[in-house]
Amino acid sequence: MSFDIQAATDRLMRFLAVEGVTGKEAAIGRELTAALQEGGVPADAIRLDDANTRIPVPTETGNLIVDLPGRGAMHNQPRIMFMTHMDTVPLCAGAKPKVAGRKIVNQAKTALGGDNRCGCGVLVTLAAELAKQKLDHPPITLLFCVREESGLWGARRVKTQDIRSPIMAFNYDGGSASNVTIGAVGADRWQVEIFGRASHAGSRRSAGSVRP
Q: What digits encode the pLDDT tens for the residues 76-87?
A: 999 999 999 999
Per-residue pLDDT for 15 more than 90?
yes
Task: Give me the half-sphere count of Cα atoms (radius 13 Å) on the Cβ side of residue 92.
Answer: 24
Describe the crossing of helices 26-38 and 5-16 by its angle, rounded to 10 degrees. 160
Question: Span 85-99, mean pLDDT?
Answer: 96
Q: Is the pLDDT of residue 14 over 70?
A: yes
Domains of the chain with bracketed CATH: 5-175+188-211 (3.40.630.10)
Answering whether pTM is above 0.85, one says yes
Mean pLDDT of the chain: 92
Q: How many Å apart are CA 168 and CA 10, to the nearest integer?
A: 29
Instruction: Evaluate if residue 26 carries a pLDDT over 70.
Output: yes
Strands 193-195 and 209-211: antiparallel
Give the pLDDT of residue 11.
Answer: 97
In the prediction, which pLDDT does 203 show?
A: 62
56 pLDDT exceeds 70?
Answer: yes
Residue 200: pLDDT over 80: no
Answer for the pair 32, 144: CB distance below 8 angstroms, yes or no. Answer: yes
pLDDT for 201 beyond 70: no
Contact 173, 115 (CB under 8 A): yes
Q: Residue 211: pLDDT above 90?
A: no
* pLDDT tens-place string over residues 99-129: 999 999 999 999 999 999 999 999 999 999 9
CA distance 202 to 54: 28
pLDDT band at residue 172 under the 50/70/90 scheme: very high
